[in-house]
Chains A and B, each alone.
Chain A
Amino acid sequence: MIGEGWKKVSVVSANAALIGGLIEACREVIAANADHLSELDRAIGDGDHGTNMRRGLEAVHAERNRLVQLPLPKALEETGLTLVMSVGGAAGPLYGTLLIEIGRQLADANGQIDFASALESAIDAVARRGRASPGDKTLLDVLYPVHAEVVRRAGLAGICEEAERAASLTFGMRAMRGRAAFLGDRSIGHVDPGARSCALLTAAICRFLEEQCPA
């Protein structure tokens, strides 16, 4: 029933404390791991994923007073736009598209859509934006497994675990998209930085929601 709890929290009783808390949780986890993410990116990319993500989350944090006043769907969309405008790299458009699409799906459906369906449409939009598929060693390799857990109404702890596990699995994958793809087989043996940041953010969001509505 925690899956239901998530839905209730995210769609129905969205409020300033929830949005503000989510922003703070995401900002903290990225700030604490920025060096780690850039290090992963240095191995198979251009080494700026951590600093790019930190810049993005700082930009979102700087707008939090405005964002917390918005209904959750609109806040998600606006947060996505802020990420697009501030992160740079491919991660800006990819994370931005994810949040913009979740927000638009929730808003368009006017409460008649469950979070899992909105998430699925948004992940498909990210895949189109990056012209990537599952198995290409990208953040999709965390997003789709996370979605599967949401669909089967796993608890927040289960979603969190699956995100971490899925990110680790990119270690063995050969990169097919992005700068890492230039390395071919040499991209094998490194965790994808986008998958890692996605797992970190998922975990931070799950931990925060769990504190808000303990099972």
Chain B
Amino acid sequence: MSGMNPKSANVGIVIVSHSPLIAEGAADMVRQMVGDCVPLAWSGGNAEGGLGTHAAGILAAIERAWSDAGVAVFVDLGGAETNSEMAIEMLGEPRSRRVIICDAPLVEGAVMAAAEASGGAALARVVATAEELSP
């Protein structure tokens, strides 16, 4: 999958929310900011489309936003983080080492990270930029 992604030079962004509306909305804001020069995907809601998160959906989103430069993941509440960790493990080595869950606000973090990623910054730099937002 990664080899087929023409955008793989830049770090990818994944947005995970309990609400599909929030995840999609935050992704829209990122898209407005950086266009399509950053691989971007979201996962929102549980397996039945209700509020919640699920590892399978997050894993699929990471695959969609995959970049050899790595992927920064933004989460809202507890289960979003736990399920994201699980999804990253299921991705397997060595790719799992290039996916980082950011300790940052979902919307602001994703937008700032995407702006940084669109300039070609490395994963560590993208993550650090987003995490500067957290007190």
List, in ascending order, chain A residues with CB within 8 A of B129's CB.
Answer: none
Among the listed B52, B55, B82, B85, which residue makes an inter-chain contact with A52, where contact means beta carbons less than 8 Å apart?
B52
* Residue B124, interface by CB 8 Å: no
Are A92 and B78 touching (Cβ within 8 A)?
no
Are B79 and A89 touching (Cβ within 8 A)?
yes
Inter-chain CA distance A130–B81, complex, in Å, is 10
The 0/1 profile, CB within 8 Å of B marked 1, for residues 146-161 of chain A is 0000000000000000
Inter-chain CA distance A113–B97, complex, in Å, is 31
* Residue B86, interface by CB 8 Å: yes
From B3-11, B23-31, B42-50, B98-106, give the one contacting chain A. B42-50
Are B55 and A84 touching (Cβ within 8 A)?
yes
The 0/1 profile, CB within 8 Å of A marked 1, for residues 39-63 of chain B is 0000000111011111110000000
Are A88 and B54 touching (Cβ within 8 A)?
yes
Inter-chain CA distance A19–B78, complex, in Å, is 32
Interface size on B, residues (CB 8 A): 19
* Residue B77, interface by CB 8 Å: yes
* Residue B67, interface by CB 8 Å: no
Inter-chain CA distance A179–B54, complex, in Å, is 16
Inter-chain CA distance A181–B78, complex, in Å, is 10
* Residue B83, interface by CB 8 Å: yes
Evaluate whether A130 and B48 lie within 8 angstroms (CB atoms) in the complex, with A88-B53, A88-B54, A179-B77 already known: no
